[in-house]
Chains A and B, each alone.
Chain A
């Protein structure tokens, strides 16, 4: 299949079209076994459903967590879930980079006239995260009904959706690059990608101030949803941090993406074939 892709994609120049080409092939390939494909989608819905039941059970025993009500936490939960869901669908395959290095598939990919990152991210593209994205969107939509919408809040919400996806994109790519050096440490990145998703499902007020400050200025995970949601909810920063941070998610996303692409370049340059 890889040969076929290269042959078809050669005249194209746009990386996005390359990406869609490869991803489309994987979707068609999945359709060869429609029963299995549908089972995976339905399974993904069930998984997301159970995740929500867990949240519901937690809030059946309490009214507020860290000073935030259920609707406010649902807003955080939905925003973070959409961000990681879209990012994971688009580029989650990058987690397998260590396997490509180990098996020598990376050598094959380097010979193809398509950017390496595009090939790696589109490889084994799957729609199994659709369930997760749908569920997060439903939770977000429910929570959005409690937000007092103004044009500027709509703008911040749209920017939040884009920025959170880009931040998770950066975390996936950036921390997967470690596998260029140690091929069997794929799980390390999970602490930051899925860990980042888990931590942003809760209001930062349940964590110590030092952790929130680190997640703002060192690893900008708090910009995924915390700062923009404070603006949507019309709340002052509980830690007394400056209010303009609530508009800085796009900046944080750009910085994360830049750092991740730099890590990727360094990793690819460091790469020497296993020779097998």
Chain B
């Protein structure tokens, strides 16, 4: 199947940058240590803040560092290639291909995510396990739900990044929107601070937005907190479907523009 072939080749492509992987895993671990001590100090003051205990909070930090690159919160991944190909006009070649363009790039991004999960997800987690008390999932069902939620988290993130890159069709340069989109993702995904600490309406809003599907929802599944496993997965799948639909519509509108410009 073509999408599987795209995914495995993207996996291999990313695996050639060994120095970058090692440097990144090191950096994730350093930030994990810093945030762990910060959260431990916070939960020492308020031992039940947000319904988490101190062990949950530290677990949240390390899960977040493991998901940071896997989900590509800051941006990056195959959607960066897309933005560059729109800018240079190579996108015309992509549009000739007898495959669904969104599917093609999504398959590649899932391949990339698999590589980043196996390296930059696993390595900092081992560091966290060695240095701190980390909570494990209570039940097999929670662990399974967490495993299922990762590809869904990547898909939601991919769709938002795809839409961001598509702004290049109109702006030619997507670097401004990319920075903005990455910042919103860091803030509203729970990576900066667990969404359970967000007060009042801001908390409710943050829990309902698609960014919650990237870090907060998978982490809660691991910790056995928040929504029921099925509700959580449905929340992610719902946003994934809506956003992928937006990608298809946007691409259609953009394609018309490319044809008018002649590439």
Contacts and interface: CB of A to CB of B under 8 A. Distances in A.
A198 B180 CA distance: 20
B23 interface: yes
A21 interface: no
Contact of A206 (B19, B38, B46): B38
User: Which residue among B22, B37, B40, B198 has the maximum number of chain A CB atoms within 10 Å of its CB?
Assistant: B37
A190 B25 CA distance: 11
A104 interface: no
Interface residues of B, number: 35
A63 B15 CA distance: 46
Given A57-B197, A62-B42, A185 B22 contact: yes
A61 B49 contact: yes
Contacts of A186: 20, 23
Interface size class of A (residues with CB under 8 A): 35 or more
B197 A47 contact: no
A60 B202 CA distance: 13
A62 B198 CA distance: 13
Interface string A34-58: 0010011001001100110110011
A99 interface: no
B31 interface: yes
A187 B24 contact: yes
A-side interface mostly: helix
Given A40-B176, A62-B46, A191-B31, A202 B38 contact: yes
Contacts of B171: 36
A149 interface: no
Contacts of A24: none
A182 B45 contact: no
A198 to B, nearest CB: 5
B199 A36 contact: no
A187 B30 CA distance: 12
B118 to A, nearest CB: 18
User: Which residue among B19, B24, B37 has the maximum number of chain A CB atoms within 10 Å of its CB?
Assistant: B19
A199 B33 CA distance: 10
B199 A185 contact: no
A185 B20 contact: yes
B187 interface: yes
A36 B20 contact: no
B176 A61 contact: no
Interface in B185-241: 187, 192-193, 197-199, 202
Interface string A92-107: 0000000000000000
A185 B37 contact: no
A236 interface: no
A66 B41 contact: yes
B27 A188 contact: yes
A209 B73 CA distance: 33
B34 A58 contact: no
B104 interface: no
Contacts of B45: 61-65
A243 interface: no
A50 B179 CA distance: 13
Interface of A: 36, 39-40, 43, 46-47, 50-51, 53-54, 57-58, 60-66, 182-188, 190-191, 195, 198-199, 202, 206-208
The 9 closest A-B pairs by CB, nearest first: A188-B23, A206-B41, A185-B23, A191-B30, A191-B27, A62-B45, A182-B19, A185-B19, A184-B20
Given A36-B173, A184-B19, 16 more contacts: A40-B176, A43-B179, A46-B183, A54-B193, A57-B193, A58-B193, A60-B199, A61-B45, A62-B45, A65-B41, A185-B23, A186-B20, A187-B23, A187-B24, A190-B27, A208-B37
28 contacts: A39-B176, A40-B179, A43-B179, A46-B183, A47-B180, A47-B183, A50-B183, A50-B192, A53-B187, A57-B197, A57-B198, A57-B199, A58-B193, A58-B197, A61-B45, A62-B45, A66-B41, A184-B20, A184-B23, A187-B24, A191-B26, A191-B27, A191-B30, A191-B31, A195-B34, A198-B31, A198-B34, A206-B41
